[in-house]
Amino acid sequence: MTTPNNDSDAEFPVRGELRIVRLLPGPIERVWEFLTDPEKRARWFAGGVTEPKAGGKVVFAMHHAKLSPGEQPPERFAHVQDPGVTFEGRVLRYEPPHVLSYTFGEDNSQVTFELTPQGNQVLLVLTHRSTGEDIAEQSNYASGWHTHFSLLVAQLAGTPPPQFWATHARLHAHYAQLAPR
């Protein structure tokens, strides 16, 4: 695993899997809240309830106009910007404040967050696994998570967030070169 920093690239360990490592301002309980509390999660990713148990429902209410007001998304993502999209997944693991895992929409896409205290910071490891059949989407997944984590870091650090779509476009081009084909 690479040394974490907030600019390090996603890694693609095997086909259909990406991993992103970040060192976040702690404490761990605060980071956990930003993963599970609907209002706090909506500030960097997507709102929606997460039932606090394995087998529970997780709702993703993505309305990126709230993350990037006034910014023009690529046509492909216009519906995510406004009016937004909502979909559901299923909680696979709920182990506060260390592990949260869920299906991301369909059961063939799974996201796992692992949190480990590192002094007054928190090591976050995200693993997003899919079937590998959606290999063309790997650069989108990587650029999406990388951009959303930039917003999370800004929330936790109390700094201005980057422009979402400008950051996503730059990273998408970058990951198109790095992602497996």
- Tens digit of each residue's pLDDT (9 = 90 or more) over 84-117: 999 999 999 999 999 999 999 878 899 999 999 9
- Tens digit of each residue's pLDDT (9 = 90 or more) over 65-87: 999 999 999 999 999 999 999 99
The domain ranges of the chain are 17-178
In angstroms, the CA 169 to CA 18 distance is 18
For the domain covering 17-178, report its CATH number. 3.30.530.20
- Tens digit of each residue's pLDDT (9 = 90 or more) over 113-143: 999 999 999 999 999 998 767 666 888 899 9
User: Is the four-CA dihedral 14, 20, 23, 27 of positive or negative sign?
Assistant: negative
pTM for the full predicted model = 0.93
